[in-house]
């Protein structure tokens, strides 16, 4: 128990208001994958549009640090832009965060009507209300996308 509190303390260090929102730690600390990968359903590697092999990026998606490029990457997994973050039966959603400059910072994946799941950098996965992660670290939700739940197995992330 004290170990879990210690790990949660790191999350609360970066997101001081998250306690008031309510959240749960759902994994150990790992740097194997990042939030962009986790939102894509991939827990085997980092996703980011780099040129030096430090991260994976779908070859068909534009390799640029823009929300459009990230949307294109998720589009390859069957996601399309949608109007809102409300849970829709038969669909799963992802939300892309960006700084005021427009540079993407984070992605989260919807779990149910109340919660989303996020990989917090090199720390834990957590389950949280979507807006709980808005703020100085990640900026704001700028785009929400959805796909039919059936598409999850039909269009899996690459091996």
The residue (of 3 and 53) whose beta carbon lies closer to other proteins is: 53
Q: How far is the CB of 83 from other proteins (least distance, A)?
A: 25
Q: How far is the CB of 88 from other proteins (least distance, A)?
A: 26
For binding to other proteins (CB under 8 A), which residues are involved? 10, 14-15, 31-32, 34-37, 44-48, 50, 52-57, 65, 103-107, 119-123, 137
The residue (of 45 and 140) whose beta carbon lies closer to other proteins is: 45
Give the chain as a 3 state SS string. CHHHHHHHHHHHHHCCCHHHHCCEECCCCCCCCCHHHHHCCCCCCCECCCCCCCCECCCCCCCCCCHHHHHHHHHCCCCEECCCCCCCCCEEEEEEEECCCCCEEEEEEECCCCCEEEECCCCCEEEECHHHHCECCCEEEEEEEEEECCHHHHCCCCC
The residue (of 44 and 114) whose beta carbon lies closer to other proteins is: 44
Q: How far is the CB of 137 from other proteins (least distance, A)?
A: 6
Q: How far is the CB of 89 from other proteins (least distance, A)?
A: 29
């Amino acid at each position: 128990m004290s170990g879990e509190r210690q790990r949660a303390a790191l999350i609360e260090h970066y997101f001081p208001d998250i306690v008031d929102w309510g959240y749960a730690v759902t994994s150990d600390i790992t740097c194997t994958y990042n939030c962009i990968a986790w939102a894509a359903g991939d827990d085997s590697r980092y996703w980011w549009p780099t040129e030096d092999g430090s991260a994976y990026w779908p070859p068909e998606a534009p390799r640029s640090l823009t929300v459009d490029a990230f949307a294109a990457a998720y589009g390859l997994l069957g996601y399309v832009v949608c109007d809102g973050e409300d849970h829709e039966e038969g669909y799963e959603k992802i939300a892309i965060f960006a700084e005021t400059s427009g540079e993407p910072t984070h992605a989260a994946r919807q779990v149910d009507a109340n919660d989303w799941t996020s990989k917090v950098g090199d720390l834990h996965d957590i389950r949280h209300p979507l807006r709980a992660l808005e703020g100085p670290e990640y900026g704001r939700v700028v785009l929400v996308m959805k796909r039919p739940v059936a598409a999850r197995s039909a269009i899996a992330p690459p091996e």
